[in-house]
């Protein structure tokens, strides 16, 4: 990695924070999508 | 509310039908995801490997590459919500309710990330994590509004009635944001002049601007992709609710 | 014992699905704390000095806000009457509700207090003392709140009256709470606070149960 | 009595019982006794004190005068009555099964299993549906299911057939009859008539004729 200068720790923390935030958001969106789809499938199956 | 009221099937009415909207936009999901990923890779490469440090701030300017896109998104997502709110109230467009509900948590997170990166950028430049300066404070108030809207969505049982009420609050919020911005700026003296979109154009050299714009588009497409995916989920969740209601009526023994 | 556990499980499940109650309380706590600089001005020394008091007042008001959720829903849908015929005594029911009330309203505030401390420019040592004082003091607030909520559950507009009843009772908690944050003789204040909390939590279920059963509806 | 005797021989006796709210008497001095296997039907216009009488017998409201007692019940077996009022005590955000499981755990799971109780009241296919989606009649059935999951000798029913359809009436009659077979007692306040297969088990008291 290139030299990030004296305040490297803040830069790394910033990118780490954003990375976890975005990863969490993507994870939650996918999880919610799958859970709702599964519930919908089970309800559709039960209705027929 | 009957959806296809007008005789001619303009595309505006056709995407009004949830099933239709999902069918049309699902093929868009994968290309958008790939585009977002590519933009992020290029952006990060530019940010870390191919841009000089700022003459004043040194390397901390690299935090700006994530801070400014998030700050911009916090405003942009609220704009999307305000337009959806208009769609709900004026044209009673069912997909407007869905997009408004899907956008709220995304906006809240981008605003929170803007504050987080702003605090980390502030530490070396101002010496403290949190400084009551104009832009940071108005972003904080915007975060409160977002979280209020998320709490409002969770508090309602009946989602359809909720959409119109929350649309009213979103519009009221939209009107108040400029007022808040102005009053906060007036209130705080310590304020860094907006260096990117100033009237006489950006004051930064091209080499810093390119990573900024690439990251900017990367985050915007990330939002669009997640928004579409969340809208699909919301459409399915409403279908689940109607099926549950039918299940209750269907089986009165 | 399983009845008590079933009560706890139900209360926690209701709180989790209760439509964003926790988020509302934490938001209220942070907003009350965050508006202080707007009123007082952004300079850091003043903020740092009044920060402990502000955090305690914010926690105090947020917990009063959460009181209405304690007994009123059960009163309105008829569960409270039935709980008086349950296998476990009414005071055990109130104890379960008190524990859940603390978990749902006080704990999220304590988890969110670092953000408020940062906003109010609180230094790190004071922050740790504040965290301990909140941990030790909020059970007393929850207990007094439970008694206030139980007394006003039968009154139609009771939700407004409960805070007025609970506020005077909680003044000692506020005094020792902020006292235990300030640098001087903070350990004595902390001990008083702990004693207050223990006493309040021990007596509240019985007092609240008595209040509910004597308030015929 | 019948072979499926479940409850200990209890009987409810009231002498000179005057019930009221806020010091204002709503009923005249009542004297009645309900022996095992029998049901007392309370009739009377609205506001004639039926609900207040039931609340008094449930121990929620203190009687203005007179005394009532459940003879034969020893205190430490815990509360011996089920009260089923107008409100169904159903939490909309919990599922049907969760609501019932809670009441079974809190009142002691001495009666039917959750599924069997739901089967009895015709809600077996809605077990994992949020109770908020139930209609008024279905919520009423869930409230009735609560009586089945824990065995209590005395039933105090306040308009059990409210919001129920014709089929629901038969359900209430069947449950009541079954309860009386098991040696239980019941006091029901109702407007529409409940006709038990064996009418001899039913007595009617008309409230409202104040002295």
User: Mind giving me the DSSP string for D1-53?
Assistant: --TT--S---EEEEEEEE-EETTEE-S--EEEEE-TT-EEEEE--TTSSHHHH
Q: How far is Cα B24 from Cα B27, in angstroms, rounded to an integer?
A: 7
Asked whether the beta carbons of B248 and D129 are under 8 A apart, the reply is yes
Comparing B160 with B164, the larger pLDDT belongs to B164
**Residue C138's pLDDT is what?**
95
Per-residue pLDDT of chain C (217 residues; tens, 9 = 90+): 788 999 999 999 988 887 567 888 999 999 999 998 888 877 788 888 888 889 999 999 999 888 888 888 898 888 998 998 888 899 999 999 999 999 999 999 999 999 999 888 888 888 999 999 999 999 999 999 998 888 888 777 767 788 888 888 888 888 888 888 876 777 888 998 999 899 999 999 998 888 888 876 5
Check CB contact of D126 with chain B, cutoff 8 Å. yes
Choose among A7, A21, A36: nearest Cβ to B240: A36
Average pLDDT over residues D171-179: 89
With 0-12 / 13-18 / 19 or more C-beta atoms within 10 angstroms meaning exposed / middle / buried, residue B190 is exposed
Checking if the pLDDT of B201 tops 50, the result is no
Give the whole-number percent of chain B exceeding pLDDT 90.
33
Least confident window among B29-38, B101-110, C123-132, D56-65:
D56-65
- Tokens at residue C160, please? 């407004």
Residue A21 has what pLDDT? Answer: 94
Complete DSSP assignment for C95-148: HHHHHHHIIIIIHHHHHHHHHHHHHTT--HHHHHHHHHHHHHHHHHHHHHHHHH
**pLDDT of amino acid C164:** 80
Domain count, chain D: 2
Residue D112 corresponds to which tokens in the numbers above?
């039917």
Q: In this structure, are D186 and D205 located in the same domain?
A: yes
B116 inside 8 A of chain C by CB: no
pLDDT digits (tens, 9 = 90+) for D34-59: 888 888 888 888 777 888 888 888 88
Per the structure, the complete domain to which residue D196 belongs is given by: 1-80+153-211
Which of C166-170, D5-9, D113-117, D188-192 is modeled with the greatest confidence? Answer: D113-117
- The answer to whether residues B94 and B3 touch, using CB atoms and an 8 Å cutoff, is yes
CB contact under 8 A, D106 and C217: no
Considering only alpha carbons, which residue of chain B is nearest residue D96? B248
Chain D touched by C79 (CB under 8 Å): yes
- Please tell me which residue, B193 or D53, carries the higher pLDDT value: D53
Give the per-residue pLDDT at D197: 79
Kindly indicate the confidence band of residue D3, based on its pLDDT and cuts at 50, 70 and 90: very low
Q: How many CB atoms lie within 10 A of CB B80?
A: 19
Pairing of strands D30-34, D202-206: unpaired
Q: Residue A36: its pLDDT value, please?
A: 93
CA dihedral D7, D8, D14, D20 (to 10 degrees): -40
Q: Token match 């900024």: residue?
A: B212
C143-162: burial string, b at 16+ Cβ within 10 Å, e else: bbbbbbbbbbbbeeebbeeb
- Mean pLDDT over all residues of chain B? 82
The structural domains of chain B, with segments of one domain joined by +, span 28-192+207-252
Q: Do B150 and C23 touch (CB under 8 A)?
A: yes
Do the beta carbons of residue D34 and residue D12 sit within 8 Å? yes
Q: How many Å lie between the alpha carbon of A27 and the closest alpha carbon of chain B?
A: 10
Whether the pLDDT of residue D116 is over 80: the answer is yes
Of C3, C10, C216, the CB nearest to D60: C216
> In the 8-state DSSP scheme, what is residue C164?
H
C202 burial via Cβ count (<10 Å: 0-12, 13-18, 19+): exposed
| Nearest residue in chain C measured CA to CA from D99 | C10
Q: What is the pLDDT of residue B191?
A: 40
Please state the domain count of chain C: 1
| Range of weakest confidence among B24-28, B186-190, C110-114, C132-136 | B186-190
Share of chain B above pLDDT 70, in %: 83
Residue that wins the pLDDT comparison between D105 and B49: D105
Give the mean model confidence (pLDDT) for residues D146-174.
88
**More confident call, C166 vs B142:** B142
Residue in B48, B226, B244 nearest the CB of A2: B48
Contact predicate D195/D173, CB 8 Å: yes
pLDDT value for C136: 94
B225 falls in which pLDDT band (50, 70, 90)?
very high
**How much is the pTM?**
0.80
CB B236 within 8 A of CB D105: no
Domain boundary among D151, D171, D191: D151
pLDDT at B194: 45
> How buried is residue B193: exposed, middle or buried, by Cβ count under 10 Å (0-12/13-18/19+)?
exposed
Reply yes or no on whether the pLDDT at D160 is more than 60: yes
pLDDT reported for residue B203: 61
Q: Check whether residue D104 and residue D69 sit in a common domain.
A: no
Q: Which residues contact B50 (CB under 8 A, 6 or more apart)?
A: B207, B211
Q: Which residues of B touch A32 (CB under 8 A)?
A: 230, 233
Q: Tell me phi and psi for residue C133, to 5 degrees.
A: -65, -35
| Calpha distance C160→B42 (Å, rounded) | 57
D171 touches chain B (CB under 8 A): no
CA distance D162 to chain B (A): 16
pLDDT at D208: 67
Q: Which of A11, A32, A40 sits opposite B60 (nearest CB)?
A: A11
């Amino acid at each position: 990695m290139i030299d990030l200068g004296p305040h490297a720790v803040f830069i790394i923390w910033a990118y780490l924070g954003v990375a976890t935030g975005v990863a969490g958001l993507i994870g939650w969106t996918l999880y919610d999508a799958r859970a709702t789809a599964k519930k919908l499938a089970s309800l559709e199956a039960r209705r027929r | 509310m009957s959806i296809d009221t007008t005789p001619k099937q303009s595309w505006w009415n056709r995407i009004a039908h949830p099933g239709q909207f999902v069918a049309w936009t699902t093929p868009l999901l994968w290309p958008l995801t790939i585009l977002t990923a590519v933009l992020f890779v290029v952006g990060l490469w530019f940010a870390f490997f191919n841009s000089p440090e700022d003459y004043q701030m040194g390397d901390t300017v690299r935090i700006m590459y994530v801070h400014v896109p998030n700050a911009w998104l916090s405003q942009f997502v609220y704009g999307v919500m305000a337009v959806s709110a208009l769609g709900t109230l004026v044209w009673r467009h069912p997909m407007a309710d869905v997009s408004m509900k899907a956008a709220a948590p995304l906006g809240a997170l981008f605003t929170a990330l803007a504050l987080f990166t702003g605090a980390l950028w502030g530490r070396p430049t101002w010496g403290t994590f949190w400084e009551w300066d104009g832009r940071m404070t108005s972003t904080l108030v915007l975060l409160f509004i977002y979280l209020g809207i998320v709490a409002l969505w969770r508090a309602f049982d009946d989602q359809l009635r909720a959409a119109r009420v929350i649309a009213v609050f979103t519009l009221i919020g939209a009107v108040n944001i400029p007022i808040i911005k102005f009053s906060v700026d007036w209130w705080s003296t310590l304020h860094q002049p907006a260096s990117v979109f100033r009237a006489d154009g950006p004051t930064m050299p091209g080499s810093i601007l390119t990573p900024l714009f690439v990251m900017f588009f990367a985050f915007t497409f990330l939002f669009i992709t997640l928004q579409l995916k969340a809208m699909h989920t919301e459409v399915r969740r409403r279908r689940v609710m109607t099926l549950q209601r039918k299940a209750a009526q269907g089986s009165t023994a | 014992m399983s009845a008590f556990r079933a009560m706890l499980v139900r209360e926690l499940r209701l709180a989790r699905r209760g439509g964003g109650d926790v988020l509302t309380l934490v938001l209220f706590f942070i907003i009350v704390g965050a508006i202080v600089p707007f009123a007082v001005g952004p300079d850091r020394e003043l903020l740092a000095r009044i920060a402990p008091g502000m955090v305690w007042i914010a926690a105090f008001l947020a917990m009063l806000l959460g009181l209405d959720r304690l007994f009123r829903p059960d009163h309105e849908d008829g569960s409270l009457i039935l709980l008086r015929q349950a296998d476990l005594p009414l005071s055990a029911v109130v104890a379960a509700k008190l524990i859940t009330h603390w978990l749902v309203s006080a704990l999220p505030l304590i988890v969110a207090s670092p953000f408020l401390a940062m906003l109010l420019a609180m230094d790190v040592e004071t922050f740790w003392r504040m965290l301990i004082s909140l941990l030790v003091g909020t059970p007393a607030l929850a207990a007094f709140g439970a008694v206030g909520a139980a007394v006003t559950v039968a009154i139609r507009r009771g939700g407004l009256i409960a805070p007025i009843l609970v506020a005077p009772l909680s003044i000692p908690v506020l005094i020792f709470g902020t006292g235990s944050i300030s640098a001087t003789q903070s350990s004595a204040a902390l001990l008083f606070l702990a004693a207050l909390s223990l006493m309040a939590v021990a007596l509240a279920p019985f007092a609240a149960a008595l209040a509910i059963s004597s308030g015929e509806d | 009595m019948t072979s499926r005797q479940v409850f200990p021989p209890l009987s409810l006796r009231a002498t000179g019982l005057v019930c009221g709210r806020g010091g204002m008497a709503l009923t005249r001095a009542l004297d009645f006794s309900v022996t095992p296997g029998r049901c007392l039907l309370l009739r009377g216009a609205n506001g004639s004190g039926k609900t207040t009488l039931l609340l008094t017998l449930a121990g929620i409201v203190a009687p203005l005068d007179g005394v009532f007692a459940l003879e034969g019940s020893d205190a430490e077996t815990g509360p011996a009555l089920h009260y089923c009022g107008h409100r169904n005590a159903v939490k909309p955000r919990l599922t049907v099964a969760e609501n019932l499981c809670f009441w079974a755990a809190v009142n002691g799971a001495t009666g039917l299993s959750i599924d069997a109780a739901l089967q009895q009241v015709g809600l077996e296919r809605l077990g994992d549906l949020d109770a908020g989606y139930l209609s008024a009649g279905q919520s009423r059935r869930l409230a009735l299911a609560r009586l089945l999951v824990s065995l209590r000798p005395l039933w105090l029913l306040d308009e059990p057939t409210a919001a129920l359809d014709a089929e629901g009436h038969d359900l209430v009659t069947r449950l009541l009859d079954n309860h009386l077979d098991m040696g239980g007692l019941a006091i029901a306040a109702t407007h529409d008539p409940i006709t038990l297969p064996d009418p001899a088990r039913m007595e009617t008291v008309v409230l409202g004729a104040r002295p």
